[in-house]
Chains A and B, each alone.
Chain A
Amino acid sequence: MCLATRVTPLLQVVQLRRPVGQVEIALSGKQQDAVYRLLRHPAPALSFIPLFPMSSNRLQTSQTTPSSRRHAPRPAAPVSSSLGQATAVGPGLLAEVVYTPDSSLRRPTALLTGMVRDLLASRELAWRLFVRDVQAMYRKSLLGYTWILLTPVVTTLFFVFLHSRKILNVGETSIPYPAYVLVGMLLWEAFAGSLCAPLGRIRGAASMLTKLRFPHEALILTSFYQVVFNLSIKMLLVAAVFVWFRIDVGVTLLLAPLAFLALIALGFTLGVILVPIGQLYQDVGKTLGMVTRVWFFATPVIYPPPAGWPARLLSQYNPVSPLLITARELLVGEPLTQWPAFLVVTAITLVLGLAGWVVFRVSMPHLIARMNA
């Protein structure tokens, strides 16, 4: 039986946007899987399903029997790849990937389609890796997930102590100081975690990277899940503290997650941009650790944004400040003081983030070639 001939009419039907129910008869599990996949692609993409050796190629590889695959004609028409150019294939054909020394930037369309495709393909792996890490993280510990909260709580208590004894002399905060510091700490931790995550991930996955081909986006995505997960858990603590201090939150609370995301995105953007050089030279990682420590104090985390000159510069020319301040203001429902800066930084982050992704993607083969694992 040749499965390809049975799947092909389905493809045509789907392309014509007819209800699939009409033809969805007597399909095996694998075939249903194939139809399901096809439906998830937008119709125009169907005749050019970009196939990647390990991700979306299964329509051809597992849904067809060897006998039907054998006589597949040679595919044509270049579309995408991460390293070289891949060739798009119609139904029943095999994906073709070509590796050449040419820079992948010379085929921008192929590069972009490859990026989108790998991002989609990396979701499952990223989720698996995230689940693995979460399951494993605290299995060998007595306090378990409490550890996520323990560090910020202890640090917050320490600053609260310094503040109450007037050792740390900061201005008046709009909400009780403990709540102020706690929120600041959590947001800062989300940013710092995002900043250091890409380099750390790539380092940790060296043995996998040098031996197996998988969408590298998965590593970044896993770290993103991790940061969001940690922040979400910590937000429960914030909720408890807000209830304790009877802090009224406004409707703007609903917008706060957007500001959190902007903050995390800035961290990941800077982190990803540092990967290529940081992976080659350890100096970057060491500098990063040092800079993060200083940066913490240069950001209004434990003190309110300074008004006087030149201290004001700290919050003005520090890209983290507007994001962090806006996130905190949205959370507690205060008037937004830094929203123009917030929008500018966010826009720059998005542009830089895309650029960083491209850089990350085209540099990975070079980094892997120089990795020792």
Chain B
Amino acid sequence: MDEQVLLQVEHVSKRFARSLKRALWYGVRDLAGELLAHNGRPAELRPSEFWAVDDVSFEVRRGECLGLIGPNGAGKSTLLKLLSGLIKPDRGRITVRGRVGALIELGAGFNPILTGRENIYVNAAIHGIRKREIDRKFDEIIDFAEIDDFVDTPVQSYSSGMKVRLGFAVATRMEPDVLLLDEVLAVGDVGFRSKCYNRVAEMATSSAVVFVSHAMQHVHRYAGQVFLLHHGASQFLGDTAEGIDRYYSLFDQTSCSTRVTKEGNELHALEFRDERDRPIVEAVHGQPLRIKVEATVDQRISRPVVQLAFLNREWQVAAICISEAGSIRNDDGHVCIAVDINPLMLTAGDYKLSLVVFDEAVHTNLIWHHAAWDLKVTGTPRYCGPAATYFDAAWTQTHRTAAA
């Protein structure tokens, strides 16, 4: 940990006003204060103001990547603006060492009438890259952006993907000490995205990176630490996996499950059990999991089908199981089943369970409880990516082959 601290944020706050009229008037007052050379007394909130960033502290060293996460409106972009020096903090102190590169707005200053070639130079100048540097790297930029045939075509006839690619290709020619990234990795098609990741990872090795994203798999992959912001205030700073957990738990209170039941149908119970039929709250990866369901189903439906879906924290379906047609009996309206999943292949993490009972004949949902139960799975190394299945692989040391 002897790397130099390139970015140091100490108790930084920034206030914004909710009302536009007041915001402008406060703007005038702030200007007046600035011009009267005020001494920067700790700022207090004025009527209709709130802290967009509230007493935030952290530091980033060279070679480190800090994932800045939080719900919409948490203050992430405001914080990035403070870091890049676009706006002043109202409290606290930010120290930046070295050259700052911000990948926030791609293709800034592009003029649609001008050709790709002309725009490259303008865009580069805005990012503070010298013409000489661009002359040298021109072919590299064109190659990276994959716009060979369109270099001398006006940018207005580029597809939106091409514009972004060109913007990215130019902006990443910077050699910054402090790199600020704001949701720019999710641009272009799959092929270009992978190139973006590689290029940013390359830049990140020699700089201090602050990386804003809502895509937790990216945060997990790139960030060594995360900083969780909520309503402008710091919620967590530290281990990536734990930070991501906390990020998701912010939504647990707000997101609600849906329960829809057709008349004459009712779900009585759904329980998680282990292999000895004991109720459990946590399932273990690689062990059996039994789910017991009891429900009342319309007597006229003789062959109900039950579907269970496991949702990950991004609310994507991670795994499903569906009963075979005709395997479930309707005993005068009572359906009692045990679903044995053995072994449970899910990667450790938090899941939500959805249950659907439907009539196969007419494809109507009789009972639909969406994301109604929580299931925690343990037993594999901690992982935050999108993979839902964990293979219990055998890892063996082998000998070098002759060719190698």
Are B114 and A132 neighbours in the complex by a CB distance under 8 Å? Answer: yes
Are B95 and A367 neighbours in the complex by a CB distance under 8 Å? Answer: no
- Contact flags A262-293 to B (C-beta < 8 A → 1, else 0): 00000000000000110011000000000000
Are A213 and B84 neighbours in the complex by a CB distance under 8 Å? Answer: yes
In the complex, which residue of chain A has the Cβ closest to the Cβ of B84?
A213
Count of interface residues, chain A, beta-carbon cutoff 8 Å:
64
- Contact flags A76-91 to B (C-beta < 8 A → 1, else 0): 0000001110000000
Chain A proximity of B262: nearest CB distance (Å) = 49
Are A61 and B84 neighbours in the complex by a CB distance under 8 Å? Answer: no
Pick from B34, B62, B99: contact of A70, CB under 8 Å: B62
Are B23 and A370 neighbours in the complex by a CB distance under 8 Å? Answer: yes
Chain A proximity of B26: nearest CB distance (Å) = 8
Pick from B102, B105, B175: contact of A62, CB under 8 Å: B175
Q: Does A332 contact B (CB under 8 A)?
A: no
Q: Does B319 contact A (CB under 8 A)?
A: no
Q: Which residues on the A side are within 8 Å of B87 (C-beta)? A: 365-366, 368-369
- Tell which of A82, A106, A140, A213 has the most Cβ of chain B within 10 Å: A213
Pick from A66, A98, A125: contact of B206, CB under 8 Å: A66
In the complex, which residue of chain A has the Cβ closest to the Cβ of B86?
A368
Q: Does A362 contact B (CB under 8 A)?
A: yes
Are B125 and A124 neighbours in the complex by a CB distance under 8 Å? Answer: yes
Q: Which residues on the A side are within 8 Å of B128 (C-beta)? A: 54-55, 121, 125, 214
Given A95-B99, A97-B85, A102-B39, also A70-B24 (CB < 8 A): no
A133 to B111, alpha carbons, bound, how many Å?
8
In the complex, which residue of chain B has the Cβ closest to the Cβ of A74?
B4
Are A100 and B37 neighbours in the complex by a CB distance under 8 Å? Answer: no
Residues of A within 8 A of B (CB): 33, 53-55, 57-58, 60-62, 66, 69-70, 72, 74-75, 82-84, 94-106, 121, 124-125, 128-129, 131-133, 135-136, 139-140, 207-214, 276-277, 280-281, 359, 362-363, 365-370
User: Sorted from nearest, which 10 A-B pairs have the closest CB atoms?
Assistant: A54-B128, A102-B40, A211-B105, A128-B125, A66-B206, A105-B37, A101-B40, A94-B98, A53-B100, A369-B87
In the complex, which residue of chain B has the Cβ closest to the Cβ of A367?
B27
Q: Which residues on the A side are within 8 Å of B111 (C-beta)? A: 132-133, 136
Are B177 and A61 neighbours in the complex by a CB distance under 8 Å? Answer: yes
Are A280 and B90 neighbours in the complex by a CB distance under 8 Å? Answer: no
Pick from A75, A102, A363: contact of B31, CB under 8 Å: A363
Are A140 and B62 neighbours in the complex by a CB distance under 8 Å? Answer: no
10 inter-chain pairs at a CB distance below 8 angstroms, sorted by A residue, are A53-B98, A58-B130, A66-B206, A97-B96, A99-B82, A103-B34, A280-B28, A281-B24, A363-B35, A366-B31
> Size band of the B side of the interface?
35 or more
Are B105 and A61 neighbours in the complex by a CB distance under 8 Å? Answer: no
Tell me the number of A-to-B contacts counted with CB atoms below 8 Å. 199
Q: Does B118 contact A (CB under 8 A)?
A: yes
Q: Which residues on the A side are within 8 Å of B14 (C-beta)? A: 369
Chain A proximity of B130: nearest CB distance (Å) = 7
Q: Which residues on the A side are within 8 Å of B98 (C-beta)? A: 53, 57, 60-61, 94-95
Are A104 and B34 neighbours in the complex by a CB distance under 8 Å? Answer: yes
Are A211 and B93 neighbours in the complex by a CB distance under 8 Å? Answer: no
Q: Which residues on the B side are within 8 Å of A60 (C-beta)? A: 98-99
- Contact flags B16-59 to A (C-beta < 8 A → 1, else 0): 10000001100110110111111110010000000000000000
A16 to B339, alpha carbons, bound, how many Å?
85
Pick from A98, A100, A124, A366: contact of B40, CB under 8 Å: A100
Pick from A74, A82, A359, A369: contact of B35, CB under 8 Å: A359
Pick from B16, B34, B89, B121: contact of A105, CB under 8 Å: B34
Chain A proximity of B28: nearest CB distance (Å) = 6
In the complex, which residue of chain B has the Cβ closest to the Cβ of A57?
B99
Chain B proximity of A128: nearest CB distance (Å) = 4
Q: Which residues on the B side are within 8 Å of A208 (C-beta)? A: 105, 108-109, 126
Are A212 and B105 neighbours in the complex by a CB distance under 8 Å? Answer: yes
Given A96-B95, A96-B96, A106-B37, also A101-B205 (CB < 8 A): no
Chain A proximity of B404: nearest CB distance (Å) = 30
* Additional 8 contacts, C-beta under 8 A, given A101-B91, A277-B28: A66-B206, A75-B97, A97-B85, A102-B40, A103-B33, A128-B131, A129-B109, A363-B35
Chain A proximity of B263: nearest CB distance (Å) = 51
Chain A proximity of B182: nearest CB distance (Å) = 8
Q: Which residues on the A side are within 8 Å of B31 (C-beta)? A: 276-277, 280, 363, 366
Q: Does B317 contact A (CB under 8 A)?
A: no
Given A102-B40, A281-B24, A359-B35, also A210-B97 (CB < 8 A): no
Q: Does B231 contact A (CB under 8 A)?
A: no
A196 to B274, alpha carbons, bound, how many Å?
76
Are B121 and A128 neighbours in the complex by a CB distance under 8 Å? Answer: yes
Q: Which residues on the A side are within 8 Å of B189 (C-beta)? A: none
A89 to B352, alpha carbons, bound, how many Å?
55
Are B122 and A99 neighbours in the complex by a CB distance under 8 Å? Answer: no
Q: Does B214 contact A (CB under 8 A)?
A: no
Are B35 and A362 neighbours in the complex by a CB distance under 8 Å? Answer: yes
Are A140 and B113 neighbours in the complex by a CB distance under 8 Å? Answer: yes
A54 to B177, alpha carbons, bound, how many Å?
11
Q: Does B369 contact A (CB under 8 A)?
A: no
- Tell which of A94, A106, A276 has the most Cβ of chain B within 10 Å: A94
Pick from B36, B81, B93, B205: contact of A103, CB under 8 Å: B36
A124 to B130, alpha carbons, bound, how many Å?
8
Q: Which residues on the A side are within 8 Å of B96 (C-beta)? A: 53, 96-99
Q: Which residues on the B side are within 8 Å of A82 (C-beta)? A: 85
Are B6 and A94 neighbours in the complex by a CB distance under 8 Å? Answer: yes
Are B114 and A136 neighbours in the complex by a CB distance under 8 Å? Answer: yes
Chain A proximity of B343: nearest CB distance (Å) = 46
